[in-house]
Every structure is written in C-alpha cells, then in structure tokens.
C-alpha cells in the first residue's frame, strides 16, 4: 500500500488582511509537506479570479496547488476558457465539481452534473489534468437514493476522474461502507476522506445543515452543552477529530484532506497528535 497522501484546502481571501493571514497559514502548513493545497471556487464561479490568483501564488512558492472548478451555471465556452487559462499557467491538477448556483439564479447553464464536466475536460484536454471529484459517504442531499448516489459517483469515475475527496463526516463507518460499495462496483481510484476540524459549533451546524453532512447526535449534544465555552469546544473537537483520523488511517484510508478554513492551528495540532 502507498503511503497516505495528505492535502489541505483553502478558500480565496476577500481582503488584504485575509491574504496576509492565508500566507501565514500556508507557511505553517507547508512545513507538513502536503501532497497539494486546493483552493475553492465560489458559487457560479464567483471567486474565479481570486481562486486562480491564490493558486498561482502558492505555485510561485514552489508548492503544489489545485484550483476547484464548478460547472453549474456555466457554458461550455466559459469552462473551456478557464481550462485554457489553467493550462497556460502550467496547472495540472484540478478539483472538478458541480457546485452551487448563486442565490437568486435559476439558469443552471450547460452542465447539470459533475460527470458532464469531467467528460468535457477529458474531451478537450486529454490527460493534461489530474482530476479530483467529490464523493459523499453520507450521500448527496439531493440524491433520490443511496444506490443512485453511488452510481452517480461511478459515472464520474468512468468519465475520467483520477481520485476523489469526500464531503466531511464524523462517522467513520459511513466512509468505510461507501468505500466497500465502490469497491464492489469495481472502482479502484483513491477516495480520500475529507476532514473538518471542530472549532465553532454554530458555524459547523450551519455548514452541515447546508451540505447534508451529519453531526452525530452525541457530538451535537456535547457541543451544545459547552455553550460559549470556546476552549472546551476546541478541546473536545480536537479529541473527536483526531480519533476519527486515527481510525481512518489505521483501517486503510488512502490519506486525509483537511478543510482548514484558512487556519493552521487545528489541522497542525491534529497532525501532531497523529504523529505524522
């Protein structure tokens, strides 16, 4: 088995202060030698330029970086233009997603699903890009059934995805059950668990309600019980997420992808506790 691959995700900063904070975060996390950093892409491509600028700055520092690219609300011509910009800058690794429409927008564009984006990328650029796609161990909130969701993931792989990053979760069994289902369908690409450090309960609850990630009842009740005690929330969060990561790696997960929220501290602490 290959050594586990670790990666860290950022969002493009909106302000000069945010840019400076992200630089400091990146310098700290770069010491952990991740396989790559990824940079998110706003709803409907709303952060397109800032995503690319952040990726290029990371690359100038000699670090591997992968922009996210979402297709909902986009045209084929527009996506091709972005791909050509990526190629012109020597970018070889992307995270291909369906994404979300900006609020108030109804035009879904020329792509309905991520598999159509992956197919388009392969048709237009061949093997230039290493393509990551999303996976949902607890199933996409819009999937009609669990089985349908796994088949949808299979179509993304067959379209040309090289590897996958999961939505974050706190139930390791959900990940292992999903991985077994994929293996039974003959899917052999690495499916890397997405890891969300717990630092702010209200923020986590809001994210989870929006994306369909389940906060197990025992975790939710513990976090609710801490009220405004930030230190206790963070200590419990570190213990809980470190234990999750340890189990995932011990039972064969091919790596971990940390949703850093542009903070170095929680991810670095979990990393140290894992003895990586």
Give catalytic residues, as residue numbers. Answer: 9
Question: What is the percent of the chain with per-residue pLDDT over 90, rounded to a whole number?
Answer: 82
Q: Of 80 and 140, which is predicted with more confidence?
A: 80
In which band, very low, low, confident or very high, does the pLDDT at 141 lie, cut at 50, 70 and 90? confident
Mean pLDDT for 15-23 is 95
For residue 46, the model assigns a pLDDT of 72
Q: Quote helix, strand, coil % in the chain, to nearest 5.
A: 50, 15, 35
208 — pLDDT class (breaks 50, 70, 90): very high
Please tell me whether residue 164 adopts helix, strand or coil conformation.
strand
Kindly report, residue by residue over 211-242, the tens digit of the pLDDT: 889 999 999 999 999 999 999 999 999 999 99
Would the pTM count as exceeding 0.85? yes
The yes-or-no verdict on residue 98 having pLDDT over 70 is yes
What pLDDT is recorded for position 104? 63
The confidence score (pLDDT) of residue 206 equals: 93
The predicted pLDDT at position 252 comes to: 96
The mean pLDDT of 192-216, rounded to a whole number, is 93
Mean pLDDT of 79-84: 96
pLDDT at 143 over 80: no
b/e sequence 94-129, b meaning 16+ C-beta within 10 Å: bbbbbbbbeeeeeeebbbeebbbbbbbbbeebeeeb
Sorted by where each starts, the structural domains of the chain and their CATH numbers stand as: 5-274 (3.20.20.220)
pLDDT exceeds cutoff 60 at 273:
yes
pLDDT, position 102: 66
Task: State the average pLDDT for the chain.
Answer: 93
Q: Quickly state the pLDDT bin for 210 (edges 50, 70, 90).
A: confident
Helix or strand or coil: residue 8? strand
Categorize the per-residue pLDDT at 1 as very low, low, confident or very high, splitting at 50, 70 and 90.
Answer: low
Mean pLDDT over 145-160 rounds to 92
How would residue 145 be classed by pLDDT, with cut points 50, 70 and 90? confident
> Taking residues 78-95, what's their average pLDDT?
96
| Close Cβ partners of 128 (under 8 Å, ≥ 6 residues apart) | 87, 92
Cα separation, 256 vs 170, in Å, equals 13
pLDDT at 103: 67
């Amino acid at each position: 088995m290959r050594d586990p691959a670790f990666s860290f995700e950022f969002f493009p900063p909106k302000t000069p202060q945010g840019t400076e904070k992200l630089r400091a975060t990146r310098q700290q996390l770069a010491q952990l030698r991740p396989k790559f950093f990824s940079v998110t892409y706003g709803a409907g491509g709303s952060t397109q330029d800032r995503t690319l600028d952040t990726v290029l700055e990371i690359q100038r520092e000699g670090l591997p970086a992968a922009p996210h690219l979402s297709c909902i609300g986009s045209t084929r011509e527009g996506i091709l233009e972005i791909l050509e910009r990526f190629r012109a800058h020597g970018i070889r690794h992307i995270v291909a997603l369906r994404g979300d429409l900006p609020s108030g927008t109804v035009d879904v564009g020329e792509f309905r699903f991520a598999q159509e984006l992956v197919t388009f990328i392969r048709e237009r650029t061949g093997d230039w890009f290493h393509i990551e796609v999303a996976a949902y161990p607890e199933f996409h909130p819009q999937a009609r059934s669990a089985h349908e969701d796994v088949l949808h993931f299979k179509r993304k792989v067959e379209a040309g995805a090289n590897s996958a990053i999961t939505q974050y979760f706190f139930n390791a069994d959900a990940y292992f059950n999903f991985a077994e289902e994929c293996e039974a369908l003959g899917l052999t690409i690495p499916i890397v668990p997405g890891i969300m450090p717990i630092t702010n309960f209200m923020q986590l609850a809001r994210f989870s309600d929006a994306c369909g990630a389940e906060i197990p009842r025992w975790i939710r009740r513990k976090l609710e019980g801490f009220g405004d005690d930030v230190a206790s929330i963070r200590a419990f969060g570190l213990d809980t997420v470190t234990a999750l990561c340890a189990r995932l790696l011990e039972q064969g997960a091919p790596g971990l992808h940390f949703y850093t929220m542009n903070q170095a501290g929680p991810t670095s602490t979990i990393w140290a506790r894992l003895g990586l």
